[in-house]
Structure 1
């Protein structure tokens, strides 16, 4: 349906209003621009820039060829493989790894989207499937509204948390790393499963992130920043400057009420974390954000009512499909002592690279699922069974 037809008989300010200029909203806008250039888009972001203050990373296997084509102009760093380090196991995998910086995300979208599409510094006070009211009092009429403004009511979900503080460091001498270290779990295990994540951005530039799989969401950023700097010193690196800081707290979901979570943000079409579209184990949303963007751009009927029905059904189906990952989270949080959680990942990283790749993409085969839980378990069998039973007794109302 072309632009003229979409707006026929209506005083529309745009065809599609996308609320939130983060990863999900930005990729939807980019996919629609590529696939439906006839549509008038509005990306409405409360902050001063798109993308906030983030570094998003992903494995090559997380997206298909169409997804990679969508992301390719935004990628700032590429590596041919990555390492993991555990107390009893170290490994290099040759799966390609990529990173997108939020400043490049902002610049790329501004370059590729039509002039006037992006509105920053515009906070939303209310929204329906076809109308948006801004804090300024301005109203925007649209054929459809898609809400991508971050998480809904997390009280509807149960589990633990992945929390992190990352520093990008300029060093006085080269660090010597050629590829990322996705997990260095040889560090002291504090507050759950702890690991350090390393991205080498240049010979003297490295991003160091201290990450925790914890029972609670509390984040002492100053304390963890001290640990990051201490880690750098332990590696023999001398820090010349801290050039970038990042922190976050992501839900690691064991169970919950999906319908309640969706309804907590109103009867508006949703995508991204707001739609519950993130990996239950890693908390990362990029693979699902890419798939949602391509899914939306591939539909002819982009009315608000039609979009709401499709996106709700799709998100609910994905919630059901990812129940296995939530079971694994239950074993980690309810079955393993906090000091031994690292053993679960240590064992996982002994499995085949293809299985690991499908796991991160959220596309595990049934054979993968059997393989992950077969053999000698990293936690006592009885405790694991009790953890799964405990999880099944918790509220699990589906959509």
Structure 2
């Protein structure tokens, strides 16, 4: 039986775990950090996009190696309203994340193709019997649901398309809601990585997590055809089902993993409750970990709990908006909520996505006639309205 020792063991080489590894290498290079990933490479197969304003300026260098494309602004389209915004936009890829982590950690500290069968605050047992003894362990593996929480789902299929002629896009389309509204609030998302390569994603704010992949592929093909794009090949495809949190019992959620290691990412509910964005919170938490004097197992777990509990408290306003979206708006009319939001000021929109809305921002978002029936809005906020989905249920996926 082989045994390894380290100061910090990170379970899961996705976005959250990868960024913790990068932060530790940059700010605590004296410590031995190991990262364990069950797949053949770190990061899986994903594109993560974010606004430059989401990440503090002094932390941008941390994520810079992951970035595959940069734009000076973006566009949104709704049935009666289109708008261009000048907020810089960035996209990171799994391939870049894998390369970035491998550039800063020794090869022997990266265990890919390794399945974790048990973990404690100070130890990891892998399939085959090998173990890791660590001063502290952080569990950053993804989970299929959020027990004791309710809301809805943001689900999507994205494809990287190689075209036979230029697509004509100069910057990303973050939301194109001019498409037929099906299965909740639906929009298409486009990232122009080159003149003839575009990443296109069909996204839904839906009440159920089911993914019908053949259907979504047809819809993506239809959208490309409507734009006049001639597709030579689909280079890459990804799918995802992310929780949109409207309500929950954080203490009960955390108690589900009592006695285990510290947590990060989705396992700590470190996501934006309404947008499901996770990169800004992944960066903030990673920097927090590097600042801790005590990385021992129990202390690290308490630190992750305190950070996640504070994040939950700060997310109350966004959970309220999620209740409005899922509990008060009819699925086919949810686009009106986002259309109204995108008529607000650009700085307010930036702070919203970063999870840093001010009191004035919150008042402005709620001011005026609501884009949903007033009675339904009041009912949703009072705990009634349309029923919310149980986010603790394991997500079903159709093939």
TM-score by length of 1: 0.94
Match of 2:381 in 1: 388
1:312 to partner: Cα distance: 0.2
Distance 2:251 2:13 in 1: 25
Aligned mate of 1:126, from 118, 131, 150: 118
Match for residue 134 of structure 2 among 125, 135, 142: 142
Q: Which of 261, 264, 270 does residue 277 from structure 1 map onto?
A: 270
Aligned partners of 1:277, 1:284: CA distance in 2, in Å?
9
Encode CA deviations 1:257-304: one digit per residue, 9 max, x unaligned: 212222323431011111110001111210000001100011121111
Alpha-carbon shift at residue 153 of structure 1 (Å): 4.6
- Indicate which of 270, 287, 293 corresponds to 2:286: 293
Residues 332-357 of structure 1, C-alpha deviations (whole Å, 9 max, x = no match): 11101111100000000000000000
Tell me if the contact between 2:4 and 2:131 (Cα under 8 Å) persists in the aligned partners: no
Alignment of 1:295-314 (within 5 A): 295-314=288-307
- Unaligned residue ranges in structure 1 (runs of 5+): 1-10, 395-399
| Equivalent residue, structure 2, for 1:206 | 198
Give yes or no for the alignment of 1:169 onto 2:161. yes
1:189 aligns with 2:189: no
1:321 maps to which of 311, 314, 324: 314
Which string of whole-angstrom CA distances, capped at 9 and with x for unpartnered residues, describes residues 27-71 of structure 1? 111111111111111101111110001000000111101221110
Report the CA distance between 1:151 and its aligned residue: 2.5
1:43 aligned residue (35, 38, 41):
35
Among 363, 366, 378, the alignment partner of 2:371 is 378
Number of residue equivalences: 386
Q: Partners in 1 of 2:143 and 2:250 — Cα distance?
A: 13
> Match of 1:107?
99
Give the aligned partner of residue 67 of structure 2.
Answer: 75
Structure 1 range deviating more: 190-199 or 305-314: 305-314
Q: Does 1:64 align with 2:47?
A: no
Residue equivalent to 2:394: none
Q: What is the rounded CA distance, in whole Å, between the counterparts of 1:76 and 1:38 in structure 2?
A: 29
Query: In structure 2, what is the equivalent of residue 26 of structure 1?
Result: 18
User: Cα distance, 1:214 vs. partner?
Assistant: 0.3
Question: Structure 2: where are the runs of 5+ without partners?
Answer: 389-399
Is 1:215–1:333's contact at 8 Å kept on the other side of the alignment? yes
User: C-alpha displacement at 1:152, in angstroms?
Assistant: 6.5
Between 254-263 and 211-220, the greater mean CA deviation after superposition = 254-263
Matches within 5 A, 1:211-290: 211-266=203-258, 267-290=260-283
Deviations 1:142-194 (A, max 9, x none): 00000000127523210100000011101111000000000000000000000
| Structure 1 residue 391, shift from structure 2 partner | 5.9
The one of 132, 150, 160 equivalent to 2:152 is: 160
Q: Distance in 2 between matches of 1:94 and 1:332?
A: 26
Please, what TM-score do these two structures have when normalized by structure 2?
0.94
Once the two structures are TM-superposed, the CA of residue 382 in structure 1 deviates from its matched residue by 1.2
2:8 alignment counterpart:
16
Equivalent of residue 336 in structure 2, options 330, 343, 348 = 343
Kept in 1, the 8 Å contact 2:246–2:323? The answer is: yes
Q: 2 CA distance for matches of 1:113 and 1:197? A: 34
Is the contact between residue 35 and residue 111 of structure 2 (CA under 8 Å) also seen in structure 1? yes
Mapped to 2, the partners of 1:153 and 1:313 lie a distance apart of: 21
Quick one: which of 354, 359, 367 aligns to 2:352?
A: 359
Q: Secondary structure at the match of 1:76?
A: strand
Q: Residues 145 and 243 of structure 2 are in contact (CA less than 8 Å); yes or no, is this contact kept in structure 1?
A: no
